[in-house]
Chain A
Amino acid sequence: MSARPNKTRPIRRPIVSRDTADFDVCWETLRNAITDIHNKNSSQLSFESLYRASYKIVIKKQGQRLYEKVKELEEEWFRVNVLPRVAELVNNNLLSVALVRMPGRSNNERREMGEKVLRGIHREWEDHNVSMNMVADILMYLERTYTAEAKQPSIFAVTIGLFRDHILRNTLSNEALLPGQTFDIFEVIIQILLDFIHMEREGDVVDRNLMRQITAMLEDLYETDDELTNAKLYLTVFEPRFLRASRDFYRSECEKLLREGDARAWLRHTQRRLREELERCTTSLSTLTTENITRVVEQELISAKLDEFLALEGSGMKAMIDDDRYEDLEILYDLVSRVDKTKNALKGILQKRVMDLGLEIEKTLKNTDFSVPAAGASADGEEAAEGGDKAKAQPLNAAAQQTAAAIKWVDDVLRLKDKFDTILSRCFKDDLILQSAITKSFSDFINMFSRSSEYVSLFIDDNLKRGLKGKSEEEVETVLQKAIVLLRYLSDKDMFERYYQKHLARRLLHNKSEMHTEKELVRRMRTEMGNHFTQKFEGMFKDMELSKDLSQSYRDHVRNLGDTETKTIELGIHVLTSNNWPPEVMGRNATQTGEGTRADCIYPPEIKRLQESFYKFYLKDRSGRVLTWVGTAGTADIKCIFPKIPGKENGPLSKERRYELNVSTYGMVVLMLFNDLADGEWLTFEEIQTKTNIPQQDLIRTLSSLSIPSKSRVLLKEPLTKSVKTTDKFAFNAQFVSKTIKIKAPVVSSTNKVEGDEERKETERKNDQTRAHVVDAAIVRIMKQRKELTHTQLTTEVIAQLAGRFKPDISMIKKRIEDLLIREYIERIDGETAAYRYLA
């Protein structure tokens, strides 16, 4: 057809007669051209004329024929030219196929043959690809018009597909080598590729580029001419085979590693393999496979035998944790988090290890502890019965050891915590799951240890009392931080509260610690635990501050009065709100120890007047309050004058000595008694007791501190033994000498130490009492809100409500419920199993 610019006849006339002739002419042109193209002889061809030829054919509705013809031509080309070449190539190197399953030949030989085959195949493929691109170009009009309209696969796809059908899937046989067997070329290629990969895994060097070329070919070929993306030959045929082979390989490798029994080697090996496979995918295979092969490696090398590897003796996870093998743990974490998002395996072992190490701390503690404790325990027992004060007159070795044990325990726990924190941040990327697992185990073992609350409080006590002096802010900061960390683990927070209150009271009253550090710590507790937890502590601080002001204003008041009677005695007073302070300090629990009402100490008249004067002053602003004087908790500074000893002309005894004695309040009271005595007069224990009315145990302690240690022996004792008995006699030691002016009688009640067993039971009993009230309140609160509840629901709610303070006993809750039933706060609902109703 010729088109002329100024004629307007229909373009596509149905011309039939000349068509076939035209077609033949055009086809002839194209056929020759295609043959030329195959022979790489295309440079003389005019694209325009060829394009025009196919254009004409299509315009004349002969597209179908052209399509078929081209296909036929290509098929023939393959049959006649390409296939014989490939077949020859494969036949010559067929050995390699057989050799894949036939050991004995060296890798080198196999590799060379394989490479030859692959290269040949690749060359044919490249040629074909170039040719087909050109053919598709000149047949562009066909492609654009006919195949699109006829919904046929494009001619390019079809001709490219021919390579698959006629080369790859062509069946060959070699009677000489493999009699009776046939195989297709595709199979050969796959075998060679897998063999190559295997060689590379074993450490040989292979031609990665060649492999990549072949896999690229497989990626460009599809199962059908429709060219569906997921039907690439690479994906449908090669990849599954590859994955299967890899799986087998890694399975046996994993077993080998397990037999060798070195988890470190396993970790590093696995890491290397993963890296290798990733690399292989980018250099030799296809990135499409990355995920799949990674999964295979993960499954076979990690998941399959994970537990066995972790449990390995000497190199498993336990050893890694114990020896701080951070690198190993880091790799391990990486690997495990690949296969298991929940990291259960890690979690389990980690938790178990924390528990074991935690319990070990307790065990070593017990072992070191029991060398001395018998004496301490019995002494403690006596004192516990006494109540009030738990420190001893003499700092007993056992007590000190127990305190040391408490501190050792806390230190050990903190060290353990540090260890796992380091592991967590260095190796586990602060993983949340593992973090909570560790936290849980820590709080588990800490709470399994029944004295943890007490020990933590003691630890804080010790640090605040002794440790903070001369420490920098940062060090203080770390101590505070540690304290809070431990506190977080405790579940019986009310127990801790009780101990801390007691210890804090002592520190405050004896001025043993720095106020701002104390406050800082309590402030942190508040942020951590909430208001109700620190209420009492803050009350204590407030009392201290108010008392300071009060003492000051009282002093001013006295000065203004010009009272000559009291001016020789300075009074520093702490007015304590009884609710905020521990009963032990307040001496309130005397009733519980069976002494009836607490006997008041008989103060010397000077003191008595002072007390009355202060009371009057106190009531001026605050009427209706009652002050109780607590002798156990106070101290007094006494200026003593020791007379010149007649007959001694030299040395310190020859002149009058003035000393300032710092003693407990009771000590002061006792010493005042001797003021009125003549020289050389003796007082018996009973006399002192009747005159002062100090409880016996307290008196023993007071007298011990005044008469036993040589540095503060202002009283003489008869007989001169190491302990005070109720039958002893005492006298003023006129010959007392000291190098220092200020003397501190060993303060009896200021050391906080571990409680003895009975004392401990006592504390627990008291704590249980408090708990009972708290549980009562919780039950009533819940019932008031919910009106009706079953027993289980109620129990669950109570536990949930109290979780922040302590873990209530189920049996305790049950008992409280029964108690509330009797007291008619709630009633049983008839007919239902264990359900209650709130009674307004």
Chain B
Amino acid sequence: MISPTLKGMLRGPFAEAQSGRCHFPEFSAPIIEKVAEYLHYYHQNKDKENVPDLDIPVELCLVVVQAADYFGLVSKALNAP
């Protein structure tokens, strides 16, 4: 789990960990989808070279950056393949 936020959420004894459901009222569905897509993309490509860039629509960019910050993916994103 590369997102410390998600990790903390699911690791501890909190409600999310118990129910297995995470709500993110701050973000709209397309953003969460993008985040999920990124996590998947990261997981698939983490040990490979010459990986194609993840396609992020321009209109989503800013919010995706914001989400990345929220999920603690910033520094990871910078180091990502």
Question: What chain B residues lie within 8 Å of A55 (beta carbons)?
Answer: 70
- Residue among B8, B15, B62, B63 with max Cβ neighbours from chain A (10 Å): B8
| B9 and A48 within 8 A (CB) | yes
- Determine the distance from Cα of A134 to Cα of B15 in the docked complex, in whole angstroms: 13
Provided the pairs A3-B63, A5-B28, A138-B8 are in contact, do residues A43 and B13 lie with their beta carbons within 8 angstroms?
yes
- Determine the distance from Cα of A587 to Cα of B60 in the docked complex, in whole angstroms: 118
Question: What chain B residues lie within 8 Å of A141 (beta carbons)?
Answer: 5, 70, 72
- Determine the distance from Cα of A730 to Cα of B8 in the docked complex, in whole angstroms: 125
Interface of A is mostly: helix
| B8 and A140 within 8 A (CB) | yes
Give the contacting residue for A11; candidates B12, B16, B60, B66; CB below 8 A: B66
| B30 and A5 within 8 A (CB) | yes
Provided the pairs A5-B60, A140-B8 are in contact, do residues A47 and B15 lie with their beta carbons within 8 angstroms?
yes
Question: What chain A residues lie within 8 Å of B28 (beta carbons)?
Answer: 4-5
| A48 and B16 within 8 A (CB) | yes
Interface of B is mostly: helix
Question: What chain B residues lie within 8 Å of A48 (beta carbons)?
Answer: 9, 16, 22-25
Give the contacting residue for B72; candidates A5, A42, A52, A144; CB below 8 A: A144
| B9 and A51 within 8 A (CB) | yes
Task: Judge whether B31 is part of the interface by a CB distance below 8 angstroms.
Answer: yes
| B8 and A2 within 8 A (CB) | no
In B16-33, the 8 Å CB interface with A consists of 16-18, 22-28, 30-31
- Determine the distance from Cα of A44 to Cα of B26 in the docked complex, in whole angstroms: 20
How near does chain A come to B20, taking the closest CB pair, in angstroms? 12
Provided the pairs A5-B31, A140-B72 are in contact, do residues A47 and B9 lie with their beta carbons within 8 angstroms?
yes
Provided the pairs A52-B26, A140-B5 are in contact, do residues A134 and B12 lie with their beta carbons within 8 angstroms?
yes
Question: 1/0 contact trace for A1-20 toward B, CB 8 Å?
Answer: 01111101001000000000
| B13 and A42 within 8 A (CB) | yes
How near does chain B come to A256, taking the closest CB pair, in angstroms? 54
| A46 and B14 within 8 A (CB) | yes
Question: What chain A residues lie within 8 Å of B17 (beta carbons)?
Answer: 47
Number of A-B contacts (CB under 8 A): 68
Question: What chain B residues lie within 8 Å of A42 (beta carbons)?
Answer: 12-14
Provided the pairs A55-B70, A140-B8 are in contact, do residues A46 and B16 lie with their beta carbons within 8 angstroms?
yes
Task: Judge whether A645 is part of the interface by a CB distance below 8 angstroms.
Answer: no
- Determine the distance from Cα of A44 to Cα of B17 in the docked complex, in whole angstroms: 10
| B66 and A3 within 8 A (CB) | yes
Task: Judge whether B11 is part of the interface by a CB distance below 8 angstroms.
Answer: yes
- Determine the distance from Cα of A51 to Cα of B27 in the docked complex, in whole angstroms: 14
How near does chain B come to A3, taking the closest CB pair, in angstroms? 6
- Residue among B4, B15, B28 with max Cβ neighbours from chain A (10 Å): B15
| A47 and B12 within 8 A (CB) | yes
| B12 and A137 within 8 A (CB) | yes
In A132-157, the 8 Å CB interface with B consists of 133-134, 137-138, 140-141, 144
- Determine the distance from Cα of A48 to Cα of B3 in the docked complex, in whole angstroms: 13
Question: What chain B residues lie within 8 Å of A803 (beta carbons)?
Answer: none
- Determine the distance from Cα of A324 to Cα of B14 in the docked complex, in whole angstroms: 70
Question: What chain A residues lie within 8 Å of B22 (beta carbons)?
Answer: 48
- Determine the distance from Cα of A134 to Cα of B9 in the docked complex, in whole angstroms: 10
- Determine the distance from Cα of A45 to Cα of B63 in the docked complex, in whole angstroms: 27
| B12 and A8 within 8 A (CB) | no
| B4 and A144 within 8 A (CB) | yes
Question: What chain A residues lie within 8 Å of B16 (beta carbons)?
Answer: 46-48
Question: What chain A residues lie within 8 Å of B30 (beta carbons)?
Answer: 5
Known pairs A46-B14, A48-B25, A137-B12 / 9 extra A-B pairs, C-beta < 8 Å? A5-B28, A6-B59, A43-B14, A43-B15, A47-B12, A47-B17, A48-B9, A48-B23, A134-B13
What are 11 A-B pairs with beta-carbon distances under 8 A?
A3-B63, A5-B28, A5-B31, A5-B63, A45-B15, A47-B9, A47-B16, A50-B14, A51-B9, A134-B13, A138-B8
- Could you list which residues of chain A lie within 8 angstroms of chain B, going by C-beta atoms? 2-6, 8, 11, 42-48, 50-52, 55, 133-134, 137-138, 140-141, 144
- Could you list which residues of chain B lie within 8 angstroms of chain A, going by C-beta atoms? 4-5, 8-9, 11-18, 22-28, 30-31, 59-60, 62-63, 66, 70, 72
